[in-house]
Amino acid sequence: MTSEKVVDFNDVVIVYDDFPAVAGATFCVDAGEIILLQGPNGAGKTTLLRACAGLLQIARGSANVLGCDLQTDRAAVRSRVGLLGHANGLFQDLTVSENMSFWSRLVGANKIDIDQAIDAMGLSGRLSETPVAKLSAGQRRRCALASLIVRRAQLWLLDEPHAGLDAQGRDELDRTLRAARDSGATVIFASHEIERAQSLATRCLLVTSGTVMPV
Protein backbone atom coordinates (compact mmCIF):
# COMPACT_ATOMS: atom_id res chain seq x y z
CA MET A 1 0.00 0.00 0.00
CA THR A 2 1.56 3.23 -1.10
CA SER A 3 -0.94 5.63 0.41
CA GLU A 4 -3.10 5.90 3.47
CA LYS A 5 -6.17 5.79 1.27
CA VAL A 6 -8.58 3.06 2.23
CA VAL A 7 -10.95 3.75 -0.65
CA ASP A 8 -9.89 5.40 -3.87
CA PHE A 9 -12.57 5.61 -6.58
CA ASN A 10 -11.84 7.35 -9.84
CA ASP A 11 -14.68 7.99 -12.31
CA VAL A 12 -16.25 4.64 -11.41
CA VAL A 13 -19.29 3.36 -13.29
CA ILE A 14 -21.31 0.42 -11.97
CA VAL A 15 -24.10 -1.06 -14.04
CA TYR A 16 -27.19 -2.91 -12.82
CA ASP A 17 -29.20 -4.47 -15.64
CA ASP A 18 -28.12 -1.84 -18.20
CA PHE A 19 -28.73 0.99 -15.73
CA PRO A 20 -25.71 3.00 -14.48
CA ALA A 21 -26.50 2.96 -10.76
CA VAL A 22 -23.16 4.65 -10.20
CA ALA A 23 -22.28 6.98 -13.06
CA GLY A 24 -18.77 8.33 -12.67
CA ALA A 25 -18.10 8.47 -8.94
CA THR A 26 -14.81 9.95 -7.75
CA PHE A 27 -13.93 10.08 -4.06
CA CYS A 28 -11.32 9.02 -1.54
CA VAL A 29 -11.54 7.85 2.04
CA ASP A 30 -8.54 7.99 4.34
CA ALA A 31 -7.80 5.54 7.09
CA GLY A 32 -9.59 6.29 10.35
CA GLU A 33 -12.39 8.36 8.87
CA ILE A 34 -16.08 7.86 9.54
CA ILE A 35 -17.81 8.76 6.31
CA LEU A 36 -21.51 9.46 5.96
CA LEU A 37 -23.05 8.93 2.55
CA GLN A 38 -26.19 11.01 2.28
CA GLY A 39 -28.51 11.50 -0.60
CA PRO A 40 -32.00 10.69 -1.88
CA ASN A 41 -33.33 7.18 -2.51
CA GLY A 42 -31.98 5.63 -5.68
CA ALA A 43 -28.91 7.85 -5.72
CA GLY A 44 -26.52 4.88 -5.64
CA LYS A 45 -25.50 4.71 -1.96
CA THR A 46 -26.21 1.01 -1.61
CA THR A 47 -24.40 0.26 -4.84
CA LEU A 48 -21.33 2.17 -3.68
CA LEU A 49 -21.25 0.26 -0.39
CA ARG A 50 -21.66 -3.09 -2.11
CA ALA A 51 -18.93 -2.17 -4.58
CA CYS A 52 -16.56 -1.30 -1.73
CA ALA A 53 -17.23 -4.76 -0.31
CA GLY A 54 -16.00 -6.31 -3.57
CA LEU A 55 -19.45 -7.62 -4.46
CA LEU A 56 -19.98 -5.73 -7.71
CA GLN A 57 -18.22 -5.53 -11.01
CA ILE A 58 -16.70 -2.15 -11.87
CA ALA A 59 -17.77 -1.39 -15.44
CA ARG A 60 -15.50 1.60 -15.98
CA GLY A 61 -13.00 3.69 -14.09
CA SER A 62 -10.54 2.57 -11.46
CA ALA A 63 -11.38 1.53 -7.93
CA ASN A 64 -9.06 0.63 -5.08
CA VAL A 65 -10.12 -0.62 -1.67
CA LEU A 66 -7.56 -1.43 1.04
CA GLY A 67 -4.90 -1.59 -1.64
CA CYS A 68 -6.78 -4.12 -3.78
CA ASP A 69 -7.74 -3.24 -7.34
CA LEU A 70 -11.46 -3.99 -7.67
CA GLN A 71 -11.14 -4.43 -11.44
CA THR A 72 -8.80 -7.36 -11.14
CA ASP A 73 -8.88 -8.63 -7.59
CA ARG A 74 -12.31 -8.14 -6.06
CA ALA A 75 -12.14 -11.33 -4.02
CA ALA A 76 -9.04 -10.23 -2.09
CA VAL A 77 -10.81 -7.35 -0.41
CA ARG A 78 -13.69 -9.40 0.94
CA SER A 79 -12.11 -10.98 3.96
CA ARG A 80 -11.04 -7.53 5.19
CA VAL A 81 -14.31 -5.63 4.99
CA GLY A 82 -17.56 -6.05 6.88
CA LEU A 83 -20.85 -5.25 5.20
CA LEU A 84 -24.23 -4.68 6.79
CA GLY A 85 -26.72 -4.40 3.97
CA HIS A 86 -30.44 -3.63 3.90
CA ALA A 87 -31.09 -7.27 4.65
CA ASN A 88 -29.62 -8.73 7.81
CA GLY A 89 -28.18 -11.91 6.35
CA LEU A 90 -29.54 -14.01 9.20
CA PHE A 91 -31.08 -17.49 9.19
CA GLN A 92 -34.64 -17.19 10.43
CA ASP A 93 -34.90 -20.64 12.01
CA LEU A 94 -31.69 -20.36 14.02
CA THR A 95 -31.36 -18.61 17.36
CA VAL A 96 -29.32 -15.47 17.86
CA SER A 97 -26.39 -17.35 19.35
CA GLU A 98 -26.52 -20.00 16.60
CA ASN A 99 -26.46 -17.32 13.93
CA MET A 100 -23.60 -15.62 15.71
CA SER A 101 -21.56 -18.77 16.09
CA PHE A 102 -22.13 -19.65 12.43
CA TRP A 103 -20.84 -16.35 11.12
CA SER A 104 -18.01 -16.14 13.62
CA ARG A 105 -16.88 -19.67 12.82
CA LEU A 106 -16.56 -18.68 9.19
CA VAL A 107 -14.34 -15.74 10.01
CA GLY A 108 -12.49 -17.42 12.85
CA ALA A 109 -13.66 -15.26 15.75
CA ASN A 110 -13.38 -16.52 19.30
CA LYS A 111 -16.01 -17.16 21.94
CA ILE A 112 -15.14 -14.14 24.07
CA ASP A 113 -15.60 -11.79 21.13
CA ILE A 114 -18.97 -13.34 20.36
CA ASP A 115 -20.25 -13.01 23.94
CA GLN A 116 -19.02 -9.44 24.09
CA ALA A 117 -20.75 -8.54 20.85
CA ILE A 118 -24.02 -10.16 21.94
CA ASP A 119 -23.76 -8.28 25.21
CA ALA A 120 -22.97 -4.97 23.55
CA MET A 121 -26.06 -5.26 21.39
CA GLY A 122 -28.23 -6.14 24.36
CA LEU A 123 -29.11 -9.62 23.14
CA SER A 124 -27.76 -11.71 25.99
CA GLY A 125 -29.83 -13.98 28.19
CA ARG A 126 -33.19 -15.23 26.97
CA LEU A 127 -32.98 -13.35 23.68
CA SER A 128 -29.85 -15.14 22.58
CA GLU A 129 -31.73 -18.45 22.61
CA THR A 130 -34.68 -17.10 20.61
CA PRO A 131 -35.03 -17.95 16.93
CA VAL A 132 -34.39 -14.89 14.78
CA ALA A 133 -37.81 -15.24 13.14
CA LYS A 134 -39.43 -14.46 16.52
CA LEU A 135 -37.44 -11.29 17.13
CA SER A 136 -38.63 -7.79 16.34
CA ALA A 137 -37.14 -5.94 13.38
CA GLY A 138 -34.92 -3.87 15.65
CA GLN A 139 -33.67 -6.92 17.52
CA ARG A 140 -32.76 -8.61 14.24
CA ARG A 141 -30.84 -5.52 13.25
CA ARG A 142 -28.95 -5.71 16.55
CA CYS A 143 -28.12 -9.34 15.86
CA ALA A 144 -26.79 -8.46 12.39
CA LEU A 145 -24.69 -5.70 13.95
CA ALA A 146 -23.31 -8.12 16.52
CA SER A 147 -22.17 -10.48 13.79
CA LEU A 148 -20.54 -7.53 12.04
CA ILE A 149 -18.64 -6.60 15.20
CA VAL A 150 -16.99 -10.01 15.57
CA ARG A 151 -15.54 -9.74 12.07
CA ARG A 152 -13.05 -7.08 13.26
CA ALA A 153 -12.98 -5.72 9.73
CA GLN A 154 -10.57 -3.05 8.55
CA LEU A 155 -13.32 -1.33 6.63
CA TRP A 156 -16.89 -1.23 7.93
CA LEU A 157 -19.66 -0.67 5.40
CA LEU A 158 -23.14 -0.08 6.77
CA ASP A 159 -26.29 0.57 4.80
CA GLU A 160 -28.76 2.52 6.94
CA PRO A 161 -27.64 0.97 10.20
CA HIS A 162 -29.88 3.26 12.26
CA ALA A 163 -33.09 2.16 10.58
CA GLY A 164 -35.31 0.13 12.86
CA LEU A 165 -33.22 0.66 16.00
CA ASP A 166 -34.60 2.31 19.13
CA ALA A 167 -32.84 5.28 20.78
CA GLN A 168 -30.77 3.02 23.00
CA GLY A 169 -29.77 0.84 20.06
CA ARG A 170 -28.68 3.87 18.09
CA ASP A 171 -26.48 5.00 20.95
CA GLU A 172 -24.96 1.52 21.11
CA LEU A 173 -24.35 1.59 17.39
CA ASP A 174 -22.65 4.99 17.48
CA ARG A 175 -20.48 3.90 20.37
CA THR A 176 -19.54 0.72 18.50
CA LEU A 177 -18.59 2.58 15.35
CA ARG A 178 -16.48 5.10 17.26
CA ALA A 179 -14.76 2.24 19.09
CA ALA A 180 -14.06 0.56 15.76
CA ARG A 181 -12.55 3.75 14.45
CA ASP A 182 -10.43 4.11 17.59
CA SER A 183 -9.03 0.62 17.07
CA GLY A 184 -7.88 1.55 13.58
CA ALA A 185 -10.81 0.70 11.36
CA THR A 186 -12.45 2.95 8.78
CA VAL A 187 -16.23 3.32 8.55
CA ILE A 188 -18.48 4.24 5.64
CA PHE A 189 -22.21 4.33 6.23
CA ALA A 190 -25.35 5.56 4.54
CA SER A 191 -28.12 7.08 6.60
CA HIS A 192 -31.24 9.21 6.40
CA GLU A 193 -31.02 10.13 10.09
CA ILE A 194 -29.08 13.23 9.07
CA GLU A 195 -28.63 14.90 12.45
CA ARG A 196 -27.50 11.84 14.35
CA ALA A 197 -25.38 10.64 11.45
CA GLN A 198 -23.66 13.98 11.00
CA SER A 199 -22.64 14.11 14.60
CA LEU A 200 -21.14 10.65 14.27
CA ALA A 201 -19.38 11.18 10.96
CA THR A 202 -16.03 12.88 10.53
CA ARG A 203 -16.91 13.78 6.96
CA CYS A 204 -20.01 13.73 4.74
CA LEU A 205 -20.32 12.91 1.09
CA LEU A 206 -23.39 13.71 -0.97
CA VAL A 207 -24.51 11.03 -3.40
CA THR A 208 -26.89 12.15 -6.13
CA SER A 209 -27.81 10.41 -9.36
CA GLY A 210 -24.86 8.08 -9.24
CA THR A 211 -22.18 10.68 -8.55
CA VAL A 212 -20.39 11.68 -5.36
CA MET A 213 -19.51 15.18 -4.18
CA PRO A 214 -18.38 16.71 -0.90
CA VAL A 215 -21.05 18.42 1.18
Partner 1 sequence: MSQSSRKVSNTGTQATRVIGVLAIVVMIWVVVSGLVLTPADVVQGESVRIMYVHVPSAWIAYVAFIVTAIASAFYIFAKRHSLGFDRVAGASAEVGVMFMAITLITGSLWGRLTWGEFWQWDPRLTTTAFLFVTYIGYLAVRGLDGSTQQRAKRSAVVALLAVLEIPLVHFSVVFWRSLHQGATILDPNGDVKMDGLMLFTLFSGVVGFTLVFIWLVLHRQRTMLLSDLAIERGLDNAILERQNESARN
Partner 2 sequence: MKKSMGKGRVVSAVLIKDLRIEARSRVVTNQVLPFAGLIMIMFAFALDNDDVLQRVAGGLIWLATIFSLFVIVQRSFAIDTVDAALDSLRVAGIDLSAVFLGKAIALTLQLMALDVVLIASAFLLYQVQVSAVGLVLLVTCVTCATTGLGFVGTLYGGLTAGTNGRETLLPLLLLPVVAPVLIAATRATEAAFGSGGAATSEGWAWVGLLTIFAAVFGIGGSLAFGPLIDE
The residues with which 22 forms a beta bridge, in sequence order, are 14
Nearer to partner 1, 46 or 211 (CB): 211
Applying CB under 8 A, does 19 fall inside the site for partner 1? yes
| By CB under 8 A, residue 164 contacts partner 2 | no
Of the ranges 30-38, 104-112, 160-168, 185-193, which one interacts with partner 2 (CB under 8 A)? 104-112
Listed in sequence order, the DSSP H helices in the chain are: 45-52, 74-78, 96-107, 111-120, 137-149, 167-182, 194-200
User: Distance between CA atoms of 170 and 215, rounded to whole angstroms?
Assistant: 24
When the beta carbons of 19 and 167 are compared against partner 1, the nearer one is 19
3-state helix, strand, coil split of the chain in percent (to 5) is 35, 30, 35
56 three-state secondary structure: coil
Based on the shown chain and the rule CB under 8 A, indicate whether residue 18 belongs to the binding site for partner 1.
Answer: yes
- Residue 55 within binding range of partner 1, rule CB under 8 A: no
CB of 153 to partner 2, least distance (A): 10
Among 34, 35, 58, 81, binds partner 2 (CB under 8 A): 81
Quick note: the x/- pattern for partner 2 over 118-137, rule CB under 8 A, is -------------x------
Strand 155-159: give its sheet, edge to edge: 81-84, 155-159, 186-190, 34-38, 203-208, 211-214
- Closer CB to partner 2, 3 or 57, in the complex: 57
Residue placing its CB nearer to partner 2 in the complex, 9 or 103: 103
**Rule CB under 8 A: which residues touch partner 1?**
13, 15, 17-20, 23-24, 57, 59, 208-211, 213
